[in-house]
Structure 1
Amino acid sequence: MRLGLQINHSAWPDGPRRPGAELAAVARTAEAAGFHSIAVMDHFFQYREPGPSEGSMPEAYTTLGLLAAQTSRVRLLALVTGATYRPPAVLIKAVTALDVLSGGRAELGIGAGWHQEEADGLGLPFPPRARRFEHLEETLRIAEHMWSAEESPFLGTHFRLSRPLRSPRPPSRPHPPVMVGGAGERETLRLVARYAQACNLAPGPKLAHELAVLRAHCEREGRDYDSIEKTLVLPLDIGPRGENVDALLTTMGEAAGLGITRVIGTVPDVRSIAPLELIGARLIPAAARL
């Protein structure tokens, strides 16, 4: 089992005092502690559960560029990008640039999007749910098209690209891995089976059923179920002295038994650095044995 860190900017009351320096310190410490990946949220407003809309929320791909410059090993991704937030070709160019500048460490984390408040607030498209899923699938098709070095026009229902030029070429082979987030049984998991190299799910009593649904979609698509990485969002709160390690390992062990191989989560008080060091000493080595 591998661990990924998700940086939640609302973890810093009133925002970081020195955003670049503090994010850089968190990233360097997470890498040294043994985290496999670092993710940031692709939101423009803070969302309701961690804090108010006014909370600190830097743009995701600018932030990932900073993290790439401060690290040399960890994988880097947005968890997850809303498909309607950027024109698809611009998004693929951004992920490709991240892959190039990080030496092949980018992943494309993507979903249909859900946060209407920020879309309305900033004038971003936010079509009805069915159309958002159409945009998501067309974006995944455009990613395949561009990363295959195909320059022929792409003529979709919602997007038309006269020359989807790919330059520079991403160093990841065959391309940066695609992670589709969400557990919708009819659409989301079908898109995982058809296009993605990873899924991202949430813990709970439906997890085993959702994985079974994904397996069924893979069978219909002629896809090897085992070729898809199964990841789980799980808060990584080990407690001030590591008192929650055993409980976390129990949860992670149950997930590993279902085929989950990476857990990605926020860490309380991550700004202080000490929790990351404690996770590196206590949780990551034990999780690796699951």
Structure 2
Amino acid sequence: MKLGLQIPNFTWAGGPATLGSDLAAVARTADQAGFDYVGVMDHFFQIRGVGPSENDMLEAYTTLGFLAAHTERAKLLTVITGVIYRHPGLLAKTITTLDVLSGGRAVLGIGAGWNEEESKGLGFPFPPTAERFELLEENLQYILQMWGEGDAAFSSKHFEAERLLNSPQVLSRPHPPIMIGGGGEKKTLRFVAKYGDACNIFNTPDVEHKLDVLKQHCENEGRDYNEITKTAYHTLDIGEKGEKAGELLADLERLHNLGFDAAIGSVPGVPDVSLLEKFATDVIPAAEKLV
């Protein structure tokens, strides 16, 4: 069972003046502790459930480039990029750049998007749900073509592009893994089966049912369900001094037994790097044995 650290909160005690050094220390420690993924949200305002909109929020891909320079082994990703934020040509080029400069450690985390507040606040279009899912599928098609051979044109309902040139091309082969986030049963999980290399599903009471739905979509698409990396979004809470490590390991064992390959989530207490060091000794070695 692999673990991923997602960093959703940047309102830290030192404020913006020390945010760079604090974030670098968190990334280095997580990488050395054995986290397989290090990720950030892709939002412009802080989201409900984490803090008020006015709290500090960093732009995701600038941050991932920074994290790439302070890590050596962990995969780097957003959990999750909304398709409404970037044109797919820009997104493909951004992930390609991250992949090349990190030595092949980029993952594309992508979903339909949901945060209407920040879109309206900054003036980003926020189409209806049906259109956002159209955009999601077309983004996946566009980006996969851009990461493929050649530089042919691309045409879809929402995009017209004359030449999908991508130079340099990605280091990851056949391309950076595509993680599609969300548990929507009719479209999101179908897109995972059709286009994705990984899913990311919230650890809710119906999570086992979501995996059954994904399995059925894989059968319908002629896709091997076992090819898809199953990741669960789950808060990695070990307590202030590591006293909850046993509870977390029990949760991870349950997710593993359901068929999940990894758990990705925030660690309450970060940027306290001593908590991440406890993962290196008290959690990650035991989680790795869940095979």
TM range (shorter): over 0.9
Q: So what's the TM-score if we normalise by structure 2?
A: 0.97
Q: 1:280 Cα deviation (Å)?
A: 1.3
> Helix, strand or coil: the match of 2:24?
helix
Residues 114-134 of structure 1: CA deviation (Å, up to 9, x unaligned): 000100111111100000000
Q: Hey, what's the Cα distance between the residues in 1 that align with 2:228 and 2:179? A: 9
What TM-score, normalized to structure 1?
A: 0.98
Distance 1:180 1:37, change over 3 A: same
SS of residue paired to 1:18 = helix
One-letter amino acid of the counterpart of residue 18, structure 2: R
Distance of 1:30 and 1:189 partners within structure 2: 30
**Aligned equivalents of 1:276, 1:17: Cα separation in 2:** 23
SS of match in other structure, 1:235: coil
The answer to whether the aligner puts 1:73 opposite 2:76 as a matched pair is: no
Contact 2:8–2:40, Cα closer than 8 Å, also in 1: yes
Offset at residue 86 of structure 1 (A): 0.4
Residue in 2 that maps onto 1:252: 252
**CA apart distance, 1:241:** 2.5
Alignment-derived partner of residue 164 in structure 2: 164
String of CA shifts for 1:9-47, please: whole Å, max 9, x gaps: 245258444121111110000011111010000000001
Equivalence for 2:231: 231
Aligned partner of 1:214: which letter? L
Does 177-186 or 140-149 show the bigger shift? 140-149
Is the 1:10–1:46 Cα contact (8 Å) retained in structure 2?
A: no
Alpha-carbon distance in structure 1 between the residues aligned to 2:149 and 2:52: 42
CA distance in 2, matches of 1:38, 1:276: 12
Q: Could you tell me which runs of 5 or more consecutive residues in structure 2 were left unpaired when the two chains were aligned.
A: none
Q: Is the 8 A contact 1:5 1:37 kept in 2?
A: yes
Amino acid of the structure 2 residue aligned with 1:123: G
The corresponding residue for 2:100 is: 100
Q: Which has the higher mean CA deviation after the structures are superposed, 88-97 or 147-156?
A: 147-156
Amino acid in structure 2 at the alignment position of 1:67: L
Alpha-carbon shift at residue 229 of structure 1 (Å): 0.2
The superposition leaves residues 229-282 of structure 1 with CA deviations (integer Å, 9 ceiling, x where unpaired) of 000111111012222111111111111011101111101121121111111110
Looking at structure 1, the residues matched to 205 and 240 of structure 2 have their Cα atoms a distance apart, in angstroms, of: 28
**How do 1:1-290 and structure 2 match up within 5 A?**
1-10=1-10, 12=12, 15-290=15-290
The worse-fitting range, judged by mean Cα deviation, of 178-187 and 262-271 is 262-271
Distance in 1 between residues matched to 2:66 and 2:241, nearest whole Å: 30
Give the conservation status (yes or no) of the 8 Å contact 2:150–2:165.
yes
Q: Do the aligned residues in 2 keep the contact of 1:11 with 1:268 (CA within 8 Å)? A: no
Conserved 8 A contact 2:10-2:19:
no
Counterpart CA distance in 2 for 1:240 and 1:19 is 21
User: CA–CA distance in 2 between the matches of 1:256 and 1:60?
Assistant: 29
Percent identity for Structure 1 against Structure 2: 54
Q: For 1:95-152, what per-residue CA distance to the aligned partner results, in whole angstroms no more than 9, with x for missing partners?
A: 0000000000000000000000100111111100000000000000001110003311
C-alpha distance in structure 1 between counterparts of 2:157 and 2:273, whole Å: 47
SS class of match (1:9): coil
RMSD: 1.1
- Alpha-carbon distance in structure 2 between the residues aligned to 1:133 and 1:190: 11
Q: Which moved more, 1:101-110 or 1:9-18?
A: 9-18
Q: Report if the CA contact (8 A) 2:12-2:271 is conserved.
A: yes
Q: Distance in 2 between matches of 1:11 and 1:29?
A: 19
Specify the SS of the correspondent of 2:271: helix
Which range moved further: 20-29 or 10-19? 10-19
* Rounded Cα–Cα distance in structure 1 between residues aligned with 2:255 and 2:49: 24
Separation (CA, whole Å) in 1 of partners of 2:227 and 2:154: 27
SS of 1:150's partner is coil
Name the count of aligned residue pairs: 290
